[in-house]
Amino acid sequence: MPGRSGVEVCAAIKEISPTTGIIMLTASDDESDLYESIRSGASGYLLKDGSTYEQVAEAVRLVSSGQSLISPSMATELPRRVRAHVQEPGADDQPDSARARGAAARGPRSEQP
């Protein structure tokens, strides 16, 4: 696409038509490209190398029905990445911190007789 990346075009389409399902058919197996595509609004991410016509047709059917599809070779790493992100130091402290901020904002409780 001269002048614009697929991610930029995806974001522009979603801005105009938020309910349009977009499948990125790409040669890039770089995780950062996958994440950028998803952030820009893509519902599907298929690798050109290794995707059959049947897989592309199935992706179109799934995305048009509101589902998502990621090439299996890319999807295998996602659960591990999500677990690593969730288990970052301090990640499980956030809910308690949020509760403490909420309690501080409400002020001290008054005792009921």
Q: What is the pTM of this model?
A: 0.68
pLDDT, tens digit (0-9, with 9 covering 90-100), for 4-21: 999 999 999 999 999 999
pLDDT, tens digit (0-9, with 9 covering 90-100), for 21-72: 999 999 999 989 999 999 999 999 999 988 889 999 999 999 999 999 999 8
**Domains in the chain: ranges and CATH:** 6-73 (3.40.50.2300)
Split at pLDDT 50, 70, 90, the class of 96 is very low
CB 42 within 8 A of CB 24: yes
Rounded CA gap, 42 and 11, in Å? Answer: 8
pLDDT of residue 78: 78
pLDDT of residue 73: 85
Rounded CA gap, 99 and 23, in Å? Answer: 39
